[in-house]
A and B are shown apart, each in its own frame.
Chain A
Amino acid sequence: MSDIKYWNSIDQLTEDPGFINESNKEFQEEIPVGEFLGNAKLSESTTSRRDFLKFMGFSLGAATLAACETPVTKSIPYVVKPEEVTPGVANFYASAVQRGGNFASILVKTREGRPIFIQPNDRFPAALRGMSPRVNSSVLELYDENRYMVPQKAGANVSWSDLDADVASKLMAIKAKGGNIALVTGSVNGPGAKAAVELFSAAFSVKKEMDSFDEFGEPVGKVTVDAGVTHVQYDAINTNSLAEANSWDFGTNAVPHYRFDKAKTVVSIAADFLGDWGNGASNSIGYAKTRVPSDNGMSRHYQFETNLTRSGSTADVRGAIRPSDVPNAVIALYNAVASKSGAAALAGGKIADDDNNVTAKIASAADDLWASKGNSLVVCGSENSAVQRIINATNQLLGNYGSTITWDQTYNVGLSSSKGMKSLINDMNTGAVDAVIISGVNPCYAVPGFAAALMKVGLKISLADRPDETSSVCDYVAPNHFFLEGWNDYEPITGVFALAQPCIKPLFKTRQAEESLLVWAGSSDDYYTHLKKTWEKELFPKQSNILLAEDFWNTSVQNGVVEIKTALKEGETLVAYRATDLAKVASGIQMTSGTWECQFYFKQSIGDGTQANNPHLQEFPDPISKISWDNYVSMNPSDMNSKGWETRTAQETPANLVNVTVNGVTLQLPVVAVPGQKVGTIGIALGYGREITGPAGKVGKNAYSCLTWNDSSLGYSSSDVSIEDAGATYEIASVQTHHTMMGRKIVNETTYSTYSSVDKNDEKNGWNKDVLLVDAYGKKKSTRELNLWQDHAIEKGHRWGMSIDLNACNACGACVTACHTENNVPVVGKDEIRRTRSMFWLRVDRYFSSDVTKQNADEQGMGVREMYRKMEDPSVYPQVSFQPVMCQHCNHAPCETVCPVAATTHSEEGLNQMAYNRCVGTRYCANNCPYKVRRFNWFNYNTDTMFAEVNPSQNDLMKMVLNPDVVVRSRGVIEKCSFCVQKIQAGKLVAKKEGRPLRDGDVTSACAGACATGAIKFGDLNDDQSAVRSKWSDSRSYHLIEEVGTQPNVAYLTKVRNIDTNA
């Protein structure tokens, strides 16, 4: 035996008496046994241990017996069953919605009369059939208990008749004295809705003289107009500056139709056209068509912007610029194009702060634009109409009008007028306005200065459907229906008329806002009759397909849409570009720069803040930062490192709180690292900080309060910014804490030139090589050949599969919210997300590129450790990749083999099945899943009071939104994507009942159905004709982490970037 003495510590070696004393104790800390037992009160207790055990035994027995009792369930059928309702069978209604500056044509799924799901309306023109998370999750808001249930007068309930009598008499009194009434709404574009507003205006109109102005704001005489009622249309999300520019350049205050599907080169300066510039959801459809590489090539997209947006992330070339450099970039681009066309250059155009090769990128953008002259697009998000006029001039030089920008159809959702809003505030302040009626918008919250001015108005009437900052200060609230409860019409694009129809009887004593206007105007028609009459009068005669007016109306209601192309009349021409003194326009642009600059933006989830109290949207993580449930300052990590702020967003690394002062208003917000954010700038999302809203909506700070009025528009950027450390930390919830792919083939990427010229398996430059593993004999084998397991019989019958085209995906997230609603996925709230317990069945991963790659680390002589360490850091201005990930339904699923109770098994149709009631919650499967898509129910989210504020299934009313075909999972079980097995079964059943083979399209998953760009395809892989099969056989197709041999039923299509390999 060796006499070597091992020791644990210096104390032990030196045989320190204190150590010896301590080491003799089993527990280092004193256990207060004596204290506990010595407690005199305990021995005084009359309850002995035996009594305690007796009670225990009795309660156990009682509980067991009680549990055996049959629960009596009542079954209450209709007295008179509506003919169209069959219990258990869904009905679908075509409808439409326009809120917060966005329009969508929708198909509403109802079960037993309850709307439970919103999907795109497939009868609507395909190119405009957009879907966004805000739209498909809005079905939740119908069941919001926070809504107005009865009309209000000064905060107290009042009957409709009393309210109408009061309001009508007061309005008549105002008319009698020649007073002014202001009607504030979002864009009103439907023929019926417009007619209602006109009827109202006519009823209270007074003739008046007004000043008129020329294009530079000089007064040019007076005109007599119908005053009395001023209709101000204002949405926080708007294209107002563009419409205003067009009113000078084309003589029409409108926005033309931008055809992204025809553009070979797209240049966007500060316009997030996949988000909130124009109709983002529809733009993305046309855009995606040109982004999927085909024989016709692929479009190239340049984006110059401050914050990293989804548009910037999908762009081939992105240049980060300061907000103050936007006009410079616009002028630089114009000059570059002008130099090719021979037009005169404008003064200026030097990018003041260029740390991202922006100048060179603009030059190459101009080259590409010129090369694809007539098939290109230049768009800009500036709120300055002068800047927009230079963009118009650029598009004119490129010959884009008439090809990619068409005036035969205008985009009517952005009728918003900032000028009108500004003058209304002035008029209210001077006391010139006697009554204000506000419908569908919340200006007290979203327009600085409005709230104070409103208080000077004698009669304030709100037509809101739920309490907000504006309605709460109004004298009267005439609550509107939710859009799923009432009739309405829209004309989002000229000639495309959409009808909204009620999908449920109004839940509360509400009334359509337009009907309230009609009632006060003294019309005897209800809004339905009014709409029908207007359509019969205005639209029916314009078409010739349907002979009877009644049929025309019924068909329109059924389809939710009617297209009426009005041919140009004899001698009528479309608007034309009017030559203008561009130098004078350009010289009027004033931009100051600052040390720090701030760009405000709208989040994909929250939008303008209307839908703040929607837990699905609050939980929906930002596509770029992956932060959920929060409002924050985004900043480039390099800036944050220099300040010493925390750039990680993990559970144990809370964010730093900062005091941001913009335009003199200070907000205290956490700061979050977002690579790609222009260095020296910050981004703050608008739409947060709602004060008067439901419990889920009170998140973040109201950044609208920082906005200031420029000439005639609200500036959504500022150079008057200072940031200081607030000296505190703040817990922040992020669903993704790793940001780079660490050199792995997770999102497989290549460039267009490689893709089109090199074989995918090319020895040297192969861009999507087949995964081959080496067996024990050194032979290379595919993962199919080299495996341990017996194959499932998936080649026969159906085999459900999915394909995800990473070129078509722009991370809009409509799939995520669709999945949430369809599958009753619980909302867990910020704190659980922070603890990495999010329940998303489908997530969209976002990866940044890193400066260090395995190749260049070698060249730089970096060691392996240093290399991996540095590969974790994203570049300052990285490339971004998105990847939706759900259960991959592996045919050799690692989860299935480790489940001790066979709760997860494989079906012969290729599904990885999850039997919740069999699951005992070992979570072995989640640990063994290489894709990390299995979610564990840590709590009873549907009953635990901890989640009462966030989880819709807790509230008796909101429960109505749950899908009755999918079980609500209980605590302690794993759940995950099921490939919407309920929809598969339902689709098969329809085919079986009709006695016909299943066709492609009969079965689709919620995510694929919501995907407007067609990035996600779902179907039967054993069907030769299916879309998903053809996508699988595309050369770009690959499987995620294929090398581990899971053989997934989901294929991804390699992301191809249209960039020069040497750039």
Chain B
Amino acid sequence: MRIYHTVIRSLSKSFSAVTLAILISGFALQAQDGEKLFKANCASCHKIDKKLIGPALAGIEDRWESKENLYAWIKNSSDYLKNNSGDSYAQGLFEEYNKSIMTAQALSDAEIDAILAYVANPPASEAPKAEVAQLEGEPSEDYSTYWLLGLAAVLLLVIKVLSDVKHSLKSVEANMKDEKVKASQGFLVAALDWISANKKTTVALMVVILATMSVQGWFVLKDIGVYQGYSPEQPIKFSHKIHAGDNEIDCGYCHHSAYKGKNAGIPSVNVCMNCHAGISEGKVDGPVEIAKIYEAAGWDPEQNAYTKEQKPIKWVRIHNLPDFTYFNHSQHVVVGEQKCQTCHGEVQEFGYPMKQFAPLTMGWCVECHRETEVAMEGNAYYDKIHEELLERYKDKGIEKFSVEHIGGLECAKCHY
């Protein structure tokens, strides 16, 4: 059920986004190009309204004497400095920023114009914020309250029944002692009377109740230790949607060890800082969450330097295989050429908090090993094995082999 909800919700979300995009695209073509160019070429060092590695760009055109000078400066600032020793503004900039040269940009005048146009009229950034805020508004499902309530109800019921039993037993005892027969009107006695009158109905009822409980119990027990959908709060509200989805950062940029070893690994803070040294405000929470990265890395955004104490981030682990299971990411990603999404879901669509997509049960692993064809061609390791398998399964007419056929269901492939 939850999966359907999610699908419908994400479908409707993307529908509205598409509509919005079509509406905007009509009149903002140039600024769009400028935005793209700005993000690709300038954003790592410049902000529009704030000093970053380089100066804030707002009002840039007013500060330069001529547009030609500005073009020349942007295209190659060191040449410009050499050729225009008299430009006091340019020389002053050079001095102000610790004599660091701005990287030469291979841009045409038209492209620079587009950027300048974008800088002069940056679009308001409210729209996406609202969208994500809506996303954040999703109630996070926490079952523990329901469990507690249910338990309390059961307990109350038990207490009630027990006190009734006690009460009637007492009265029975009193009756026996007094040898008087009182017409007791207790609930229990009435219930017993009803039961003795409707024996067949009672038996049928009991059977139904028992069967329902068994079935329910079976499913509850089966889910013990299965944390599909587990999405704990994290110390930083990191959204895969913003990074892997909107900004299309490759999974391997942060989780590079998935290609090398058994752990995909949570990236170390210095990987975050590769980009976030320049990006100090997020779309959703502004500077709040990114400031936590700076805190961890010991980065002082005012001075643009690592001056403070480093404090590692304590993420809450989501995917947690038991100790007796060996799993190697590189086996699946590099050799098996599996996409991350196969096991982790469409992560680029997941906002905060990240959740466990797959059940990670042995049955789930085994099913995939049964169905997934091994791409043996092009990997010399499998050449001999492939030939032998073709020979062995000739009679059965199997020509494509799944992981199962190369022993992927054997215990000691994962348990040792």
Contact = CB atoms under 8 A, between A and B. Distances in A.
B307 to A, nearest CB: 14
B411 A991 contact: no
Interface string B372-388: 00000011111111001
B316 A80 contact: no
A297 interface: no
Contacts of B329: 88
Contacts of A913: 410-412, 415
A907 B414 CA distance: 12
B335 A87 contact: no
Interface of A: 65, 67-68, 70, 72-81, 86-89, 793, 796-797, 905, 907-909, 911, 913-918, 965-968, 978, 981-982, 985, 988-989, 991-998
A995 B268 contact: no
Given A72-B232, A86-B260, A88-B257, A77 B266 contact: yes
B167 interface: no
Contacts of A985: 326, 328, 413, 416
Contacts of B271: 81
Interface of B: 147, 151, 224, 227, 230, 232, 257, 260-263, 265-271, 296-298, 310-317, 320, 322-324, 326, 328-331, 334-335, 378-385, 388-389, 391-392, 406-407, 410-413, 415-416
Contacts of B406: 797
Given A797-B407, A967-B323, A997 B380 contact: yes
The A contact surface, by secondary structure, is loop
Contact of A73 (B312, B317, B380, B385): B317
A80 B297 CA distance: 8
Contacts of B383: 997
A967 B321 CA distance: 12
A76 B315 contact: yes
A89 B410 contact: no
B404 to A, nearest CB: 11
A993 B260 CA distance: 9
Given A79-B312, A966-B416, 20 more contacts: A74-B314, A74-B316, A75-B317, A76-B312, A86-B261, A87-B263, A88-B263, A88-B328, A905-B410, A913-B410, A915-B412, A916-B324, A978-B416, A981-B412, A985-B328, A985-B413, A988-B381, A989-B328, A995-B379, A997-B380
A374 B413 CA distance: 55
Nearest to B259: A993
B312 A78 contact: yes
A978 B413 CA distance: 12
A998 B384 CA distance: 10
Given A70-B227, A77-B312, A998-B381, A909 B407 contact: yes
12 contacts: A78-B312, A87-B263, A89-B260, A89-B261, A796-B388, A907-B411, A913-B411, A916-B324, A965-B262, A968-B323, A994-B381, A995-B379
B257 A89 contact: yes
Nearest to B306: A80
A965 B326 contact: yes
Contacts of B270: 78-81
Nearest to B334: A993
B297, B314, B378, B407: which has the most chain A beta carbons within 10 Å?
Answer: B407
A968 B389 CA distance: 35
A996 B381 contact: yes
Which 3 residue pairs spanning A and B have beta carbons closest together? A88-B261, A913-B412, A81-B268
Contact of A992 (B230, B260, B313, B379): B379
Contact of B415 (A65, A81, A917, A994): A917
Contacts, number: 154
A335 B262 CA distance: 67
B262 A88 contact: yes
B381 A995 contact: yes
B186 to A, nearest CB: 21
A991 B297 CA distance: 38
Nearest to A978: B416
A994 B379 CA distance: 8
A981 to B, nearest CB: 5
Nearest to A823: B416
A790 to B, nearest CB: 15
A908 B407 contact: yes
Given A70-B227, A88-B262, A77 B326 contact: no
A466 B410 CA distance: 46
Contact of B385 (A797, A911, A989): A797
Contacts of B392: 793, 796
Contacts of B384: 997
A911 B391 CA distance: 22
Contacts of A89: 257, 260-262
Given A72-B232, A918-B411, A992 B317 contact: no
Contacts of A81: 268, 270-271
A965 B227 CA distance: 23
Contact of B269 (A80, A914, A917, A918): A80
B415 A915 contact: yes
B262, B322, B406, B416: which has the most chain A beta carbons within 10 Å?
Answer: B416
A905 B265 CA distance: 33
A965 B263 CA distance: 12
B320 A917 contact: no
Nearest to B410: A907
B234 to A, nearest CB: 10
Contacts of B378: 995
Contacts of A796: 385, 388-389, 391-392
Contact of B416 (A65, A905, A981): A981
Contact of B257 (A86, A968, A992): A86
Contact of B315 (A77, A905, A908): A77
A917 B324 contact: yes
B74 to A, nearest CB: 33
B381 A68 contact: no
Nearest to B232: A72
A997 B380 CA distance: 6
Nearest to A75: B317
Given A796-B389, A911-B412, A981-B416, A993 B312 contact: no
A83 to B, nearest CB: 10
Nearest to A986: B328
A87 B407 contact: no
B407 A74 contact: no
B53 to A, nearest CB: 20
Nearest to B322: A917
B412 A916 contact: no
A916 B263 CA distance: 23
B213 to A, nearest CB: 15
Contacts of A914: 411-412
Contacts of B265: 77, 86-88
A992 B331 CA distance: 8
Contact of A87 (B257, B326, B413): B257
A73 B316 contact: yes
